[in-house]
Structure 1
Amino acid sequence: MTRIDFHTNVGDPLLYACRLARKAYQAGQPLVVLADPGRLRAFDERLWTFSPLDFLPHCMADSALAERTPIVLTADLARVPHHQILLNLAPAVPAQFARFERLLEIVGTTEDELGAGRERYRFYRDRGYALNNHKQGENQGA
């Protein structure tokens, strides 16, 4: 069964997602990042700029390099090369999340983000998934 981790009360979800991506990369765990195309572009830009000392190799899922790239960005999970960790930056439950060993959910602090996060949480809980909660504020490190 997919392990699901919720990271809540996140002030800057894209920056936090970069930190989670760095953590997965440093641990040698391939990562797929799901979001709409506009958010993926913003996340791609943040991956290049969030830390002057880190390079996180990443590409889009339709790239010829996706099979060999540890961080793959996509708006559609139909054809992704990795199934270890899924980082969901979309507001909805990913249709194919159960194909992944682990799912990371980030919930920001705006009303829209909180509402969507609560809906996703209920969805997983009601289907019997064990949910791990990591509330930010007390511990900002990822």
Structure 2
Amino acid sequence: MTRIDFHTNVGDPLAYACRLARKAYASGKALVVLAESRRLAAFDEQLWTFAPLEFVPHCMAKSPLAADTPVVLASSLDDAPHHQVLVNLGAPVPAQFARFERLIEIVGNDEEELSAGRERFRFYRDRGYAIETHKQGS
């Protein structure tokens, strides 16, 4: 069964996801980051600039290099080449999250993200998933 972690009250979800991507890459874990295309483009740009002296190899899921790249950015899981860790930056429950060993839900601290995060939490809980919660900030 997929391990699910909720990281809540995150002030800057994209910067937080960058740090998670760096950590996954350093530990040798394959990571897929899921978001709608505009947010994914912003995340892609931030991955290039968040730590000037550190590079996190990444590409889009439709790239021919995706299978060999440790961090893959996707707007749909249909093209996801890895199934170790999924980071969800989107509002809906990922349709194919159960294919992954681990799902990390990042929930920002604005009301819209909190509301969507609560819905996802209830969805997983009601289906019997054990959920670990990590509250950030104050």
When the two structures are superposed, what TM-score results if normalisation uses the length of structure 1?
0.95
4+ residue runs over 2 A deviation: none
1:73-84 to 2 correspondences below 5 Å:
73-84=73-84
Superposed CA deviations along residues 78-110 of structure 1, whole A, max 9, x for unmatched, are 121100000001101000000000000001010
Distance 2:122 2:17 in 1: 22
Superposed CA deviations along residues 23-62 of structure 1, whole A, max 9, x for unmatched, are 1111100000101110110000000011112100000011
One-letter amino acid matched to 1:53: L
**Residue in structure 2 matched with residue 53 of structure 1 by the alignment:** 53
> 1:103 aligned to 2:103?
yes
**Long gaps (5+) in structure 1:** none
One-letter amino acid matched to 2:61: A
Count of aligned residue pairs for this structure pair = 138
Identity of aligned residues (%): 72
Please report the RMSD computed on the Cα atoms of aligned residues, expressed in angstroms: 0.7
Distance 1:29 1:55 in 2: 15
> 1:63 aligned to 2:63?
yes
One-letter amino acid matched to 1:3: R
One-letter amino acid matched to 1:110: D
**SS of the residue 1:43 aligns to:** helix
**Residue in structure 1 matched with residue 125 of structure 2 by the alignment:** 125
> 1:16 aligned to 2:16?
yes
Distance 1:134 1:86 in 2: 16
Distance 1:97 1:41 in 2: 21
Distance 2:63 2:79 in 1: 11
